[in-house]
């Protein structure tokens, strides 16, 4: 890959908008689609979604846990999803939230970020709560291979505040400062992104001492749809970050299935709504 991940992400969002379709094959969603809760059900579900939303979103975000729960056969389907996304020109955000130290973190990095790895994705989510420096093997390998990482910053779950808002400066502010340092000098933005919940508001960010506008990092903003955030929340929380916010939505798209035409229409309409909100 000749371009760094931030440049590739910027191009994808400029062309297709800020929508990232979450691939979360819950058992109840498979049942609603008339599919069995088996690896074959995962395979059929994933293939339908990928074909329906190609050209209608910037990225796909498979949630690793929903594939892992089926064991080796489910992980094999995840490998197929990542390969099929590459073939369709869809960037991938593998939602695995890995975090460890030393050689173990290095092994996670090789699994998800090295060329030729069966589970190689364009980017992967990481947890920094063993210390941001523990993520260095993944950050460095991502940069070497033109991939990216997304570091948990201010998440949308209420329990997160008990860790992320501790201290002065807060843990979240310190994580973002490290992210900003890694992204310094990269245009149009960096390859180390930060996860910030769309359910938050500007007062939450100010209280945490977080300056997203000045960080130079792309933002992965979960929480739209089932978790309660909407387009107005995006416009308020991420004002001034129009070109840097990638918005993962799962149930808000997948509930329109299983007909591919309905999935495609829902993705298209949601993309238009998100574009308009972020440009305000």
225-230 LR contacts (CB < 8 Å, sep 24+)? 225/249, 225/250, 225/251, 225/252, 226/250, 226/251, 226/252, 227/156, 227/197, 227/198, 227/199, 228/199, 229/156, 229/197, 229/198, 229/199
Residue with tokens 């939505």: 249
* DSSP H or E run through 196: strand 192-196
Cis amide linkage into residue 174, ω under 30° from 0: no
Asked if 97 is an active-site residue, the reply is yes
How many whole angstroms separate alpha carbon 121 and alpha carbon 115? 9
What the block records as the tokens of 258 is: 């299983």
Instruction: Give, rounded to a whole angstrom, the gap between the first and last alpha carbons of the chain.
Output: 34
Among 18, 72, 9, which residue's Cα sits nearest to residue 278? 18
User: Is 253 in contact with 266 (CB distance < 8 Å)?
Assistant: yes
Residue 258 CB: number of other CB atoms within 10 A?
A: 18
Tokens 């000098």 belong to 185
The C-alpha atoms of residue 257 and residue 238 are separated, in whole angstroms, by: 30
Catalytic residue among 26, 86, 97, 268: 97
Distance CA(186)–CA(2), nearest Å, equals 14
Tokens, residue 91: 């960037």
For the annotated catalytic residues, the residue numbers are: 97
């Amino acid at each position: 890959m000749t371009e760094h991940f931030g440049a590739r992400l910027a191009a994808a969002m400029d062309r297709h908008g800020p929508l990232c379709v979450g691939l979360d094959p819950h058992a109840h969603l498979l049942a609603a689609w008339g599919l069995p809760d088996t690896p074959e059900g995962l395979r059929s579900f994933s293939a339908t979604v990928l074909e329906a939303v190609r050209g209608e979103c910037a990225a796909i975000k498979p949630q690793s846990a929903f594939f892992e729960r089926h064991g080796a056969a489910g992980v094999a389907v995840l490998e197929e999803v990542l390969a099929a996304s590459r073939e369709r020109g869809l960037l991938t955000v593998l939602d695995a939230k890995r975090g460890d130290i030393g050689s173990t973190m290095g092994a996670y990095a090789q699994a998800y970020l090295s060329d030729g790895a069966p589970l190689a994705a364009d980017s992967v989510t990481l947890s920094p709560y063993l210390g941001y420096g523990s993520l260095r093997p993944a950050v460095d390998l991502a940069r070497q291979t033109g991939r990216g990482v997304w570091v948990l910053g201010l998440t949308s779950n209420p329990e997160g505040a008990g860790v992320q808002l501790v201290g002065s400066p807060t843990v979240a502010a310190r994580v973002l400062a490290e992210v900003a340092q890694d992204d310094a000098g990269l245009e149009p933005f960096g390859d180390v992104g930060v996860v910030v919940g769309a359910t938050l508001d500007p007062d939450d960010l100010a209280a945490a001492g977080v300056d997203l506008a000045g960080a130079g990092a792309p933002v992965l903003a979960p929480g739209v749809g089932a978790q309660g955030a909407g387009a107005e929340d995006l416009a308020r929380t991420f004002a001034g970050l129009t070109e840097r916010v990638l918005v993962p939505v799962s149930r808000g798209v997948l509930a329109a299935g299983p007909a591919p035409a309905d999935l495609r229409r829902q993705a298209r309409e949601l993309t238009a709504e998100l574009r308009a909100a972020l440009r305000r």
